[in-house]
Copies of this chain bind each other. A is one copy, B any other.
Amino acid sequence: MDNKPFLDYIKNFIKLTDEEETILLSKTVHRKYLKNQYIVQQGDICKSVNFIISGSTKAFYMDLEGQEHIVMFSIEDWWTSDLGSFITQTPADFNLQCIENTELIQFTYENLEYLYKAIPKLERLFRKIVERAFVASQKRIIRNFSLTAKERYQIFKRTYPKIEQRVPQYMIASYLGITKEFLSKIKSQLIHDQ
């Protein structure tokens, strides 16, 4: 199995010895999911944080009217989890579902706690990863409040060009917090604008 993308990713944050890399990998599971398979379902306890080697996932919340609200897309070299459920080991608010066939590296709660003890440097790694995720989340809140749907869509396209091409429009609408019909309208406006 190909762990190289993961080890390369980690090198951006911390340096590990060969021995540490071996310990780290020994406590992870490499796993493949098919398109549409669930990694976690709302209400279950989220058992892992997952680093994506290939493919893509969406994290979404299903509201009382049965509507999906996408919180996050994840593709190669990024993470997916319901972190709230994972860190407290309580039922998940979100579903994690694969949009494409997806290959990922999984850290279970127990293994990750073990690893924090065995390789304390990993605390630093995950601190930095979560810091970045938090900052992105805060910026998204601001964008949702201060920009129109059209502006948010344009930023989305610029920021995540890879995702735009691989994900159906209606999921992008959900991520932007608008209906698919309104996204369709925005797109035709953007074409006619010039």
Tell yes or no: A36 within 8 A of B by CB: no
Chain B residues with CB below 8 A from A84, complex form: 135, 138-139
- A138:B83 contact, CB within 8 angstroms: yes
Q: Shortest CB–CB separation between residue A60 and chain B, in angstroms?
A: 9
Residue on B with the closest CB to A72?
B138
- Which residues of B are found within 8 Å of A177, using beta-carbon distances? 144-145
Which stretch in A1-9, A98-106, A118-126 binds the other chain? A118-126
Per-residue interface assignment for chain A, residues 131 to 146, with 1 indicating a CB less than 8 Å from any chain B CB and 0 otherwise: 1111101111110111
Contact B87 A138 (CB under 8 A): no
Q: Please, how many residues of chain A have a CB less than 8 angstroms from a CB on the other chain?
A: 33
Query: How far, in whole Å, are A105 and B2 apart by their CA atoms in the complex?
Result: 46
Interface class of chain A by DSSP: helix
A61 at the B interface (CB under 8 A): yes
User: Closest CB-CB distance, A139 to chain B, in whole Å?
Assistant: 7
Chain B residues contacting A139 (CB-CB under 8 Å) are 84, 93
Given A83-B134, A127-B126, A127-B127 in contact, is the A141-B144 Cβ separation under 8 Å? Answer: yes
Which of chain B's residues has its CB closest to A63's CB? B146
Q: Provide the residues of chain B in CB contact with A69, threshold 8 Å.
A: 142, 145-146
Question: A67 interface residue, CB < 8 Å from B?
Answer: yes
Besides A69-B146, A133-B134, 4 new A-B residue pairs in contact (Cβ under 8 A), listed by A number: A71-B141, A116-B124, A123-B123, A137-B138
6 nearest A-B pairs in the assembled complex, by CB-CB distance: A123-B123, A84-B135, A127-B127, A137-B137, A134-B134, A63-B146
